[in-house]
Copies of this chain bind each other. A is one copy, B any other.
């Protein structure tokens, strides 16, 4: 038994989010990921939130970097560059998220690395791509959300543009990079060839919004914002208030509508000629909605959730993170993984890969590295010793 990337080496020259999220997925497949950090500070994500409880191991740093090794290395020095070249020579995959052109200018672009390791898979993650006319523009997640049109899609027609409330584009771009890398490894297994991969936050956003882009491309109509309505735009696919908390319901088909009416005790609606099919219900939403909403408002959300699901009507209470993380659904599943965080003196639950396999489900119980924790171990394994080793280690301890 073995993970898909067991025994493979990833040289991780990324920081903050999309890159580390990408290489975290590779850890979960069994890869040996070596994270290169700047001596002294390391990845700025270490300090995210500047919470004294967490020091230089913020929860997000821990979650994105668990299972990796950290090597503190100033590879802009001659000796540091030699160490980096030896790391390249041993790597199956390099991932980097510097600004386009930076690594190339410093002698570690794709061609240079390919000369060292002919079948290298070299993946760059950036805001706009390595060859874009926008390549020099800096980017953060919320900038990509503005640029890509993503912010224009949340809320109702009356609301201002509203971003997705978490770093969606960073996360998805990182996931796309992991997909690109594993695809390239599969191709290499057949052809023996490496590949240069170019992932951008802007292009990834387009794929993520496929559903809306496809409609727009075909019709030329800029999509109207639909608030909490389901993608079907059915009259009874929306969020509704109850006695306590809001609930989302998705009664699209005739069968689901009939079941909804039965649970709510308004079966007379099913026989009403106006509501015979989805288009009738859509056309007469202004008469249908108030009746249905009033009935839903008589329930407690969790009770209605159970009853509707029993009747095969898709429904879920609108939960917050506290509500879902504590849900018994996750008991015994590998979604979360408790790991020790020695720097905090306690455990934390991080995310595994998010899917289950009958064998070798992507997962890892290893914690995140302290800055430079593996510098000496890795340098020794690369053959450094004596003065050179001491010099590299001294450089790694700068602060």
Contact = CB atoms under 8 A, between A and B. Distances in A.
A287 interface: no
Nearest to A51: B219
A94 to B, nearest CB: 14
Given A219-B59, A354-B176, A314 B143 contact: yes
Given A136-B309, A155-B155, A219-B59, A359 B179 contact: no
A384 to B, nearest CB: 31
Contact of A317 (B127, B147, B167): B147
Interface string A93-125: 000000000000000001000000000000000
A1, A50, A354: most-surrounded residue (chain B CB, <10 A) = A354
B136 A223 contact: no
A196 to B, nearest CB: 4
A49 B131 CA distance: 37
A184 to B, nearest CB: 7
A176 to B, nearest CB: 6
B237 A162 contact: no
Contact of A230 (B132, B142, B179): B142
Given A147-B248, A207-B351, 16 more contacts: A140-B237, A141-B230, A142-B228, A145-B248, A151-B248, A160-B246, A161-B318, A162-B228, A165-B225, A168-B208, A171-B207, A189-B190, A197-B356, A212-B321, A218-B348, A220-B322
A186 interface: yes
A204 interface: yes
Interface stretch (A74-82, A265-273, A323-331): A323-331
Interface stretch (A2-10, A290-298, A372-380, A389-397): A2-10
Interface in A231-281: 231-232, 237-239, 246-250, 252, 279
Instruction: Count copies of this chain in the complex.
Output: 2
A360 B220 CA distance: 30
A222 interface: yes
Contacts of A365: none
Contact of A357 (B175, B180, B333, B360): B180
A168 B83 CA distance: 42
A229 interface: yes
A349 to B, nearest CB: 5
Contacts of A180: 353, 355, 357
Interface in A195-224: 195-200, 202-204, 206-220, 222-223
A205 to B, nearest CB: 8
A212 B60 CA distance: 8
B319 A147 contact: yes
Contacts of A162: 154-155, 162, 227-228
B358 A64 contact: no
A49 B146 contact: no
A247 to B, nearest CB: 7
A388 interface: no
